[in-house]
Chains A and B, each alone.
Chain A
Amino acid sequence: MTLLSQTIQYALSGLTTGSIYAIVGICWSTVFLISGVLNFTTGEFVMLGGMLTWAYANAGMNLGLAAGLAIVTSILVAALLERVVINPVRYPSETTYMLITIAAASVIKGVILLTYGTDARRIRPFLEIEPINIFGATLVPQVLVVLGVLVAITLVLWLFFNHTLFGKALRASSINQIGASLIGIEISRFRLFCFALAGALGAVSGIVFAPISFTGYNLGFMAGVKGLVVAIVGGWTIAGTVAAGLALGLVEGFAAGYISTGWKDAIALFIMILFLVLQTVDFSKRFRKRPS
């Protein structure tokens, strides 16, 4: 392998993981932006998507149907979560929500563990064609699926939040929730929608990633944490999150390639800390646009 092909290989590796970080990051930001809930179950929906698709496919369904059903199930679980444990909270605060979702994440993980066991599971790739050679680097076809899904999600959400009435209303009410409820908008319905949306997106990312890296009951936490990192770095906006996700993936890929694989996660978390610190410094605010 030449240096060029190695570099391309690291970039491809970075783009793949980066896409997943970006999608999971979007899940965090949609829920947090609209409802102010730091939803720690986000990563579990990535796991649910993969595991349920495997389970349905294993029960004899074809892959497309299994994936569709897994997404629907995830949406139902997410909606149920919002209705049963988030909505009834009487004196909500960010901490309360956070603790509730952390507990809920354990429950989801536990149920999957008890139902399907600890084994890692594999889903068949969606494109069953041979890996593609690019200047000596290898592109696994499933990576194209992952990138395609990221592009599609970003486009659709952008159109939705900027060019539909409902999307604009969501954004508007997120700016001032009290104001929105004063003019008669029921915030909790928006929140329900956002939870369901995040559930669906999480499941999709879990499904498209499972053929590359397998799925298992315990992958939710790390996926969730990385998503949170990029959501914070991306300033809770969709474009920012996507950019941050891809950037983080690439940094990880190149760090693993040129420095050391052991440093990968440390670098990612260091970047998050750096951003959190920089955000509290005054001068950074002058250059930052308002979240759109």
Chain B
Amino acid sequence: MKKFAWMVLVLSGMVLTSFVTGFAQTQAPYVLGFTLDLTGLRAELAKPMRSGALIRIDEINETGGVNGRPLKAIFYDGESNPVKNVQNVKRLIEVDKAVATMGFSAVDASMAAAQIAEDGKILLYSGSPSIVTGKPPKKWMFTVVPDQRVASIPILLKNLLARGSKKVAYIYIDTAMGNLGIAAFNWSAEKLGITPAIVEKYQPGAVDVSPQLAHIKASGADGLLVTGNLADTVRVIKTARDLGMEYPIVSDYAVVGPEFITLSGKYGEGIVTTSLKTLVADELPDSDAQKKVCMDLYNKYTKQFGAFSLYAGHTWDQVNMVAMALRKIDPKLDPTKEKDLEIMRSNIRDNLEKLKGIVGQNGVFNYSEGDHIGLAEGCYVPVLVQGAKWRLYKGK
């Protein structure tokens, strides 16, 4: 009798432990660590990024998660301050046991955190322009944002030529952004065999740009390309139109979004810029491989959060591809154990590097050892403002 009682006890104990550990195994989630500038100057970028990540995480968890585990996102606020972003990454690695760090709404935050991620042997999946990966790419640094040089200016110059402009004028803002712009302009003008009629620049926040535009008007240009922040660009466009310049004006891609339409009003009509495809998903041709995923995110986002922001696509892609990399790791690895976590983190990086032909929001990704951007040309399409709405530019 006593023996029997012992057996029952041991048996039930075994059942109980297996139940508990089994329970733990299905429950312990994969932690995705995000650092995003949710407050401060860059908050307008980072909030849609959080929304985009949440949408993709919900989608994955609804279909059973990854390897039987749910994904869990932890968001820390980088406060638009690179130092704070670095602290967040450290905390995500050491305290929250994240399997990968992602988000990163700005170049400076990504760059500042690069060394911490390198030392922590963890993926730093950036959502800021591709220069962050470096050449050759840093081992742990990946991004989902296409090469900025081909993002906008070559497409816009071709657009101007196609619309009959013979003498192109260029005006850019005198900041780091404008310097990238002029470099891209010179590079693509040379490639397209264009000699600019005139190149002008203006100070950030300049209250009056009419002297520059008077120069441009005097140069006899018949097409204008603008690089600048939102308000500056609108000011240039408004001044140009007020000075009676009726010819096509195209703007570097930084202005795309609902704010441009509110600020520019009637001056915005007909202005062409470039955008990632999700913004105009419903107008993409059916043959476009991205149409389905783009439409999907566009509809979900606008339903839940209002006017669409392209930044949502960045984090959607990050979550999507980290989940794919996770699917290929050994499902028995336990993210709560330090040793397993180390293996997982390095497996995720290696698997990500092998991803090919992944259809995402920002383009079709093909990562490789020498390419941590993974996107070819053609991620951006020309768009224009028509009836106070961004629409795909389809030519005349």
Chain A residues with a Cβ under 8 A of chain B = 1, 5-6, 9-10, 12-13, 16-17, 20, 117-122, 131, 133, 137-138, 140, 209, 212-214, 216, 218-219, 222, 253, 256-257, 261-262, 264-265
Contact = CB atoms under 8 A, between A and B. Distances in A.
A262 B172 CA distance: 12
Main secondary structure of the interface of A (DSSP, over half): helix
Given A1-B214, A1-B217, A120 B208 contact: no
B211 interface: yes
Contacts of B217: 1
A257 B203 CA distance: 14
A130 B80 CA distance: 42
B211 A13 contact: yes
A121 B43 CA distance: 17
Contacts of B207: 17, 20, 209, 212-213, 219
Contacts of B259: 119
Nearest to A133: B244
B211 A265 contact: no
Contacts of B208: 13, 16-17, 212-213, 253
B197 to A, nearest CB: 13
Contacts of B211: 9-10, 13, 253, 256-257, 261
Nearest to B207: A213
In the A-B complex, the 9 residue pairs with the closest CB atoms: A120-B231, A256-B211, A1-B218, A257-B211, A9-B214, A213-B207, A13-B210, A138-B243, A1-B217
A219 B203 CA distance: 13
B44 interface: yes
Contact of A6 (B201, B206, B218): B218
Nearest to A114: B39
Given A119-B231, A264-B203, 17 more contacts: A9-B210, A13-B210, A117-B44, A118-B43, A118-B44, A120-B230, A120-B234, A122-B263, A213-B208, A214-B231, A219-B205, A219-B207, A222-B205, A257-B215, A261-B206, A261-B211, A262-B174
Interface of B: 41, 43-44, 174, 200-203, 205-208, 210-212, 214-215, 217-218, 230-231, 234-235, 242-244, 259, 262-263, 265
B41 A118 contact: yes
For A12, A16, A120, A257, the residue with the greatest tally of chain B CB atoms inside 10 Å of its CB is A120
Nearest to A9: B214
Contacts of A222: 205
Nearest to B209: A261
A285 to B, nearest CB: 35
Nearest to B231: A120
Contacts of B265: 122
A222 B235 CA distance: 17
A265 B208 CA distance: 12
Main secondary structure of the interface of B (DSSP, over half): helix
A263 to B, nearest CB: 10
A219 B205 CA distance: 8
Contact of B235 (A13, A118, A131, A214): A214
Contacts of B203: 261-262, 264-265
A140 B267 CA distance: 14
B203 to A, nearest CB: 7
Nearest to A131: B242
A143 to B, nearest CB: 10
Nearest to B174: A262
A264 B205 CA distance: 13
A1 B214 CA distance: 7
B214 A214 contact: no
Contacts of A212: 207-208
Contacts of B41: 118
B228 to A, nearest CB: 11
Nearest to B216: A1
19 contacts: A1-B217, A5-B214, A9-B214, A12-B210, A13-B208, A117-B44, A119-B230, A119-B263, A131-B243, A137-B214, A138-B244, A140-B242, A212-B208, A218-B205, A219-B205, A219-B207, A261-B203, A262-B174, A264-B206
B391 to A, nearest CB: 22
A138 B212 CA distance: 14
Contact of A138 (B174, B215, B242): B242
Contacts of A120: 230-231, 234, 263
A222 B218 CA distance: 30
A261 B214 contact: no
Given A120-B263, A122-B265, A261 B231 contact: no
A228 to B, nearest CB: 16
Contacts of A218: 205
A73 B167 CA distance: 49
Contacts of B202: 261
A120 B230 CA distance: 8
Contacts of A214: 231, 234-235, 263
Contacts of B201: 261-262
Contacts of A138: 242-244
A151 to B, nearest CB: 20
A16 B243 CA distance: 15
A201 B107 CA distance: 41
A262 B178 CA distance: 13
A13 B207 CA distance: 10
A46 to B, nearest CB: 11
Contacts of A117: 44
Contacts of A16: 208
A125 to B, nearest CB: 10
A87 B218 CA distance: 55
